[in-house]
Amino acid sequence: MKLDASETHPSDALLPLGEVSVRVWNAKYRSQGAGGDQSIEDTWRRVARSLAQVEKSDCEAWERHFYAALEGFNFLPGGRILASAGTSRRATLFNCFMMGSIKDSLGGIFEALKESASTMEQGGGIGCDFSTLRPRGHQASSVAPVAPGPLSYMNMWDSMCATILSSGARRGAMMGLLRCDHPDIELFIEAKRSGENLRHFNLSVLVSDEFMAAVEADTEWLLVFPIDRTGAGTGDETVARRWSGSTVAQPCRIYRRLQARNLWTKIMAATYEYAEPGVIFMDRVQRDNNLWYCEHILGTNPCGEVPLPGYGACNLGSINLTRFVRAPFTSAAHLDIRRINATAAVATRMLDNVYEASRFPLKKQQQVAQVSRRIGLGLTGLADALAMLNIPYGTELSLKLAGKIMRTICESAYRTSIEISREKGPFPDFVASKYRRGEFVSRLPKGIREGISRYGIRNSHLTAIAPAGSISLLANNLSSGVEPVYHFQHLRRLHRENGAFETVGVSDYAYRLFRHLFGPDAPLPPAFKTVVEVSPHDQLAVQATLQRYVDNAISKTITVPAGFDFKQFCSLYQDAYRLGLKGCTTFRPNPVTGAVLLEPAETVVMETACCPRPEHRS
């Protein structure tokens, strides 16, 4: 499907690029030096040309179509693509990676640390599952009689990340993961209580269906670790578990027994009190994986929107919904679904071309990424678009429209991937008879499933919803991803390339557009809502509605008020599990991490890593 560049947004001429957007472009996305970008149009042209050169024919035509998608911020590729495509930078175009399984030996640990450093040096955020490291206090080896445990080694990663950032490299983030049955899980849960430790990590617990059932039934839960890594003494009790990094169940030594509900309460109390850790429903992630037949998911990227195997990569882009609202704020306001469909088609091809246009920090990452060619096409500006359409966020009408939008993006992406497969061939790990039996794929429309059987599909996964923080700021400060608007006006602290910070005032895009159209004194319509006016359960409902059409996952933080009842807070996570989400993260203002939401004149939102922490994470 082609995109007609002659169609423009009716308010194109109304709002020039704001000061904060210009600053973000200069600091993060502008190609500097001789022959560099002199305008944002140059940036779009550079990216369009770089990705079009991958095509074997009609390169100039595809460059025009790609430019039309990028122009005016209709489509926002991931930040690494915007910053580095078509430049001489030694940087990857992939935003984030899941690192490989960490071998439980000193050599294995330092090799994993080196690979992580190499990845972050090129700008990639990383996810690491530390579940393979033996628990604290266990016999380690003849030269190191007592194991320090995963948390000690995570401090090494944290220091490495700080060192990489201080060197001036592009900023990345890290996700630290631990299984809910690892003997050190309680230490992991408490790791960030002081606010001083693991500051460069997001933390999430890998939660199993068995654990959730035990929580529901209030039964016993076992903390275990594989015997082949620790040995087992006479009389040690064992149980079979499929451990991280393994494809088969293996005998595990039982370290301790506790009540599942007590452990769950500890997780809930920690995230209630200091916003970490989040939870990932790992069995659901495995079941819903389109590549269930040939890969094992180890964890997620730092914001949780892309579950990945070891050395897997996330290749992201977001459709800016505000660009498709016609006659905003009027009784005739409507969404141009046809144009969203067309833009999603072009964006899918652009993201597929990233595989040939990008370098990879590690050879293993290239090998793993190429066999699946997974992409994550999503959306941003949802809250602003709803306000422009006079629809309050979280209402039944907003849920219905959000579902329609994401279904359109999903089906357009799948149909396009089938067409690219017909032209260029399917992803190497494609097996039609097995791929079609996947839980997500089997729910797709019949015509798409038939197309997959006949022509294959170019990309194993196609949809994800990222936080889209920096790129939304670039595009005139849209509401990020699927989040409600935080404040219509506030201060934002930006990280500059030279390491310094600067604080600038920003206005939400929809708010600014409304003021431009109707004046500074016009009362805001009821559809203008900030996050404090949207209940946590309504936020969860929006996320659940979108997840039906997302084959990867969604980065969404459920924001709750400081006085939110703890019992209700716990129910959010149980509702997330029942609603079919792949993970859940919340943020409540607290003494440890502070309050993200203050009075508008005092609000300072810090622009940090490629993947924000901890406010935007699934």
Distance in angstroms (rounded) separating the CA atoms of residues 525 and 511: 10
| Assigned token pair, 219 | 């039964």
Domain stops at, among 229, 262, 284: 284
What are the tens digits of pLDDT across the range 540-559? 999 999 999 999 999 999 99
Of 74, 78, 29, nearest in space to 466 by CA:
78
In this predicted structure, the answer to whether residue 234 has a pLDDT above a threshold of 80 is no
3-state class percentages of the chain: helix first, strand second, coil last, to nearest 5: 40, 15, 40
SS3 state at 58: coil
Q: What is the CATH number of the domain that holds 87?
A: 3.20.70.20
Average pLDDT over residues 271-289: 97
Average pLDDT over residues 132-148: 78
Q: Which residue has the tokens 């032209």?
A: 423
What pLDDT band is residue 35 in, cutting at 50, 70 and 90? Answer: confident
Provide φ and ψ at 129, rounded to 5°: -95, 115
- CA–centroid distance for 196 within its chain: 24
Give me the residues paired with residue 455 across strands.
none
| Residue 170 pLDDT | 58
Answer whether the bond into residue 277 is a cis peptide, omega within 30°. Answer: yes
Question: Do 82 and 104 reside in the same domain of the chain?
Answer: no
| Residue 441 pLDDT | 98
| Residue 496 pLDDT | 67
Please give the angle made by the CA atoms of 185, 191 and 194, to the nearest 5 degrees.
Answer: 155
- Segment holding 455, helix H or strand E: helix 446-455
Q: How many CA atoms lie within 13 A of 496 on its CB side?
A: 10
Average pLDDT over residues 346-364: 97
Q: Is residue 598 part of a domain?
A: no
Domain stops at, among 520, 539, 555: 555
Average pLDDT over residues 439-448: 98
Asked if residue 573 lies in contact with residue 279, where contact means CB atoms within 8 angstroms, the answer is yes
- The CA-based dihedral angle spanning residues 73, 79, 85, 89, taken in that order and rounded to the nearest 10 degrees: 140
Q: Is residue 407 part of a domain?
A: yes
| Residue 556 pLDDT | 97
Indicate the pairing of strand 125-129 with strand 174-179: parallel
Percent of the chain with pLDDT over 90: 81
- CA–centroid distance for 578 within its chain: 21
Average pLDDT over residues 82-90: 92
Average pLDDT over residues 505-509: 92
Distance in angstroms (rounded) separating the CA atoms of residues 176 and 154: 8
Asked if residue 476 lies in contact with residue 388, where contact means CB atoms within 8 angstroms, the answer is no
Q: Which amino acid is at 562?
A: A
| Residue 143 pLDDT | 56
Average pLDDT over residues 511-521: 96
What are the tens digits of pLDDT across the range 1-16? 555 544 444 444 468 8
- With both helix axes pointing from N to C terminus, report the angle between 40-52 and 337-357 in degrees, rounded to the nearest 10: 70
| Residue 235 pLDDT | 65
In this predicted structure, the answer to whether residue 608 has a pLDDT above a threshold of 90 is no
- Segment holding 287, helix H or strand E: helix 282-287
Average pLDDT over residues 316-322: 98
| Residue 33 pLDDT | 82
Q: Is residue 68 part of a domain?
A: yes
Average pLDDT over the chain reads 91
Question: Do 185 and 249 reside in the same domain of the chain?
Answer: yes
Structurally, how many domains does the chain consist of?
Answer: 2
Question: Do 107 and 71 reside in the same domain of the chain?
Answer: no
In this predicted structure, the answer to whether residue 169 has a pLDDT above a threshold of 70 is no
Q: Which residues are catalytic?
A: 301, 303, 305
The one-character DSSP state at 146 is: B
| Assigned token pair, 402 | 């959000």
| Residue 490 pLDDT | 87
What residue numbers bound the domain in which 230 lies?
Answer: 96-284
Question: Do 255 and 326 reside in the same domain of the chain?
Answer: no
Q: How many CA atoms lie within 13 A of 494 on its CB side?
A: 25
| Residue 483 pLDDT | 98
Question: Do 100 and 88 reside in the same domain of the chain?
Answer: no
Answer whether the bond into residue 614 is a cis peptide, omega within 30°. Answer: yes
What pLDDT band is residue 168 in, cutting at 50, 70 and 90? Answer: low
Distance in angstroms (rounded) separating the CA atoms of residues 38 and 436: 47
Give me the residues paired with residue 299 across strands.
308
In this predicted structure, the answer to whether residue 353 has a pLDDT above a threshold of 70 is yes
Question: Do 52 and 101 reside in the same domain of the chain?
Answer: no
| Residue 491 pLDDT | 84
What are the tens digits of pLDDT across the range 60-80? 999 999 999 999 999 999 999
> For 49-58, 87-96, 428-437, which range has the lowest pLDDT when averaged over its residues?
87-96
Distance in angstroms (rounded) separating the CA atoms of residues 315 and 77: 9
Q: Is residue 135 part of a domain?
A: yes
Question: Do 409 and 545 reside in the same domain of the chain?
Answer: yes
Of 278, 266, 151, nearest in space to 611 by CA:
278
Q: Is residue 355 part of a domain?
A: yes
Question: Do 551 and 537 reside in the same domain of the chain?
Answer: yes
Question: Do 152 and 122 reside in the same domain of the chain?
Answer: yes
Question: Do 319 and 399 reside in the same domain of the chain?
Answer: yes
> For 76-90, 202-216, 223-237, which range has the lowest pLDDT when averaged over its residues?
223-237
Q: Is residue 254 part of a domain?
A: yes
Asked if residue 511 lies in contact with residue 558, where contact means CB atoms within 8 angstroms, the answer is no
Q: Is residue 307 part of a domain?
A: no
Please give the angle made by the CA atoms of 498, 301 and 363, to the nearest 5 degrees.
Answer: 85
| Residue 599 pLDDT | 46
Q: Dihedral sign, CA of 418, 422, 424, 427?
A: positive
What pLDDT band is residue 49 in, cutting at 50, 70 and 90? Answer: very high
Give me the residues paired with residue 335 across strands.
325
Question: Do 119 and 207 reside in the same domain of the chain?
Answer: yes
* pTM, two decimal places: 0.94
Q: How many CA atoms lie within 13 A of 40 on its CB side?
A: 19
Asked if residue 355 lies in contact with residue 315, where contact means CB atoms within 8 angstroms, the answer is yes
Average pLDDT over residues 458-464: 98
Q: Is residue 605 part of a domain?
A: no
Question: Do 85 and 140 reside in the same domain of the chain?
Answer: no
What are the tens digits of pLDDT across the range 554-589? 999 999 999 999 999 999 999 999 999 999 999 999
What pLDDT band is residue 108 in, cutting at 50, 70 and 90? Answer: very high
| Residue 146 pLDDT | 84
